[in-house]
Amino acid sequence: MAVQIVCDSTSYLTREQIAEYRIKEVSLSVVWNDESKQELDITDLDAFYDELRSMKNLPGTSQPSVGQFLDVYAPILDAGDDVVSLHFSSGISGTYDSAVQAMQAVERDGVEPGRVTVIDTGSACGGYGMIALAGAAAARKGANREAVLAAVDRMTDGLNFWFAIDTLEYLRRGGRIGAVASVVGGAIKIKPILTVTSEGIMPVEKVRTEARVLSRIADLAMEHIPHDGDFIVQHVQAPDRAQIVIDDLTARIGKGPVIQPGEIGPVIGAHVGPGLIGVGVFPAGLID
């Protein structure tokens, strides 16, 4: 049996990466201008973020339905392959729960337990994308389910991913400021460095200036990067700021980012807003 990786649209891998690594996707949705659109169908990110900046009410977002997962799982299983379905943190979305319900549904219909494995990566965006690529890289080399899951575990265990947002306003308006509020208190101009865990968005440090954010997030990467490890940088509508971090880390590490993930899209972007910078470090050799 071959193994097929399934992920959701919040991995923000590029269309080329999805095709190269033979990943199947399930899309979350955005309720935008009184219309629900699948995230994968919103391709003009500049237009989306231009409108987001002036919206009085932020767009809503929703997880995929169980039926969407079944539509992706069924042809894979019918072809005789196994499914490893990897999803972003259950602490910030019900997507993982929908995937689990789909797994349970196919097992009730007679699919052998274990042929569909659903994993909460406890990460999001670029970090989650690297976990998906680690599994997909193993799968396309012909690894069985156990070996694919081992590759996923190695990436998950060795991965650190942080992000800094330009303003807390979007998290506040979307009701997702959660644990971040305990760190920044009433200091709304603070620029916190955050991470994502299985419990949700968690604070790491608070920084007071944009320049300090960019240098500090690079410092964190240097403090945690494994020996000979790799890094990525991701952003929301901030390519120039992202390039500053890339140049900084390239000079210090002696090599550039191993891969360039796509820009963070509407589902996550609606909650964090333009200006986000994300940096991840992880062991080398897992996404070859």
Tens-digit pLDDT profile for residues 103-134: 999 999 999 999 999 999 999 999 999 999 99
Structural domains present in the chain: 3-26+64-158 (3.40.50.10440), 160-282 (3.30.1180.10)
Q: Is 256 left (phi over 0), alpha (psi -120 to 50) or beta?
A: beta
List Cβ neighbours of 251 (8 Å cut-off, separation of 6 or more).
Answer: none
Q: Tell me the DSSP string of 215-238.
A: HHHHHHHHHHPPTT-EEEEEESS-
Q: Tell me the DSSP string of 44-72.
A: -HHHHHHHHHH-SSPPEEEPPPHHHHHHH
Alpha-carbon span 142 to 189, nearest angstrom: 50
Joined together, the tokens standing for residue 27 give: 């899309």
Residues 93 and 121 sit within 8 Å (Cβ to Cβ): no
Distance in angstroms between the alpha carbons of the first and the last residue of the chain: 22
Using a pLDDT cut of 70, give the percent of the chain over it. 94
On whether the pTM is more than 0.85, the answer is: yes
Q: For residue 182, what pLDDT is reported?
A: 46
List Cβ neighbours of 203 (8 Å cut-off, separation of 6 or more).
Answer: 179, 180, 182, 183, 184, 192, 193, 194
Tell whether the model's pLDDT for residue 188 goes beyond 70. no
CA atoms within 13 A on the CB side of 82: 23
Q: For residue 3, what pLDDT is reported?
A: 98
- What confidence tier does 180 reach under pLDDT thresholds 50, 70, 90? low
Beta strands 24-26 and 3-8 are parallel
- What confidence tier does 288 reach under pLDDT thresholds 50, 70, 90? confident
Alpha-carbon span 98 to 65, nearest angstrom: 6
Task: Classify residue 73 as exposed, middle or buried by CB count within 10 Å of its CB (0-12, 13-18, 19+).
Answer: buried
Residues 236 and 230 sit within 8 Å (Cβ to Cβ): no
Least confident span in 8-22, 59-73, 94-108, 169-183: 169-183
- What confidence tier does 236 reach under pLDDT thresholds 50, 70, 90? very high
* Residue 267 one-letter amino acid: V
Proportion of the chain in helix, strand, coil states, percent, rounded to 5: 45, 20, 35
Tell whether the model's pLDDT for residue 179 goes beyond 60. no
Residues 277 and 217 sit within 8 Å (Cβ to Cβ): yes
pLDDT tens for residues 24-50?
999 999 998 789 999 999 999 999 999
